[in-house]
Amino acid sequence: MTFRRPLIAANWKMNGNRELVQATATMLQSIDCPHEILICPPVIFLADFPKSTKYCLGAQNTSSEKAGPFTGEISADMIRAVGAEYVILGHSERRSLYGETDATVLQKAQQAIAAGVTPIICFGETLSERQQEKTMWVLAQHLDAVYAAHPDLLARSVIAYEPVWAIGTGLTATPEQAQQVHAFIRQHLARIDQQAAAQVRILYGGSVNAENWQTLFSQPDIDGALVGGASLKPAEFAAICQMAKE
């Protein structure tokens, strides 16, 4: 059986302040956790986190360009320079609100990897697509668009399955639903690179909290979480981080 170290990632989105930075850092310093813990605050707060062996840092986005006349953009080299080891790419909010496509996500992932930053690439289906039983077809299209022509990316990235209908809604996929999709993702990617597919970490994101996480985490192909609202509550996020993989 392939060992995949679980990753618990906090996505603060456009929330937080320096007080939350301090409270989160202090809380995480006080716990023992065998998993990898990642905090992705707004990029302006990255430098405010004290260095620690208890957690690592990431950004929520990066540019598809290395440098140049792109006002307001932040490059992968820049986020790496202020401590980001990971970057979330292709989140459903970036896709729906800002028109990002799989092609855009691919460009950003390549820039991140070139800068020494690991991309966490998000995929998911809408409620309409799930109701029409198109979940697997939709995911296959997204996965192929990013990985089929660039199989080397698979061994250098993390995947997050985030059903769009469960983002910020309070709805959560059942453990069985989530496991079915995670297993499908791994099996589909095995056609591209069997070894990398067995090793890639696939996170679940979608209204994860301390009450539902343990049952989700018990599934064999769920390798961690992308936590939204609950990550803004240091004690609850710490509780999620300490839950054991069964």
91 is catalytic: yes
162 is catalytic: yes
203 φ, ψ (degrees, to nearest 5) = -95, 155
Please name every residue paired with 56 in a beta bridge, in sequence order, or none if there are none. 38
The verdict on whether residue 64 carries a ligand-binding annotation is no
Instruction: Give buried/exposed letters for 139-167 (b at 16+ CB in 10 A, else e).
Output: bbebbebbbeebeebbeebbbbbbbbbbb
Q: Which of 91, 93, 129, 236 is catalytic?
A: 91
The verdict on whether residue 209 carries a ligand-binding annotation is no
In eight-state DSSP terms, residue 1 is: -
The verdict on whether residue 13 carries a ligand-binding annotation is yes
Q: Which of 36, 93, 125, 162 is catalytic?
A: 162
The verdict on whether residue 124 carries a ligand-binding annotation is no
Q: Can you spell out the DSSP letters for 56-114?
A: EEEES---SSSSSS-TT---HHHHHHTTEEEEEES-HHHHHHH---HHHHHHHHHHHHH
The verdict on whether residue 228 carries a ligand-binding annotation is yes
Q: How far is CA 58 from CA 26, 103, 133, in A?
A: 18, 22, 34
Closest CA to 122 of 153, 155, 95: 95
Catalytic residue positions, numbered: 91, 162
Numbered residues of the known binding site for substrate: 11-13, 168, 207, 228-229
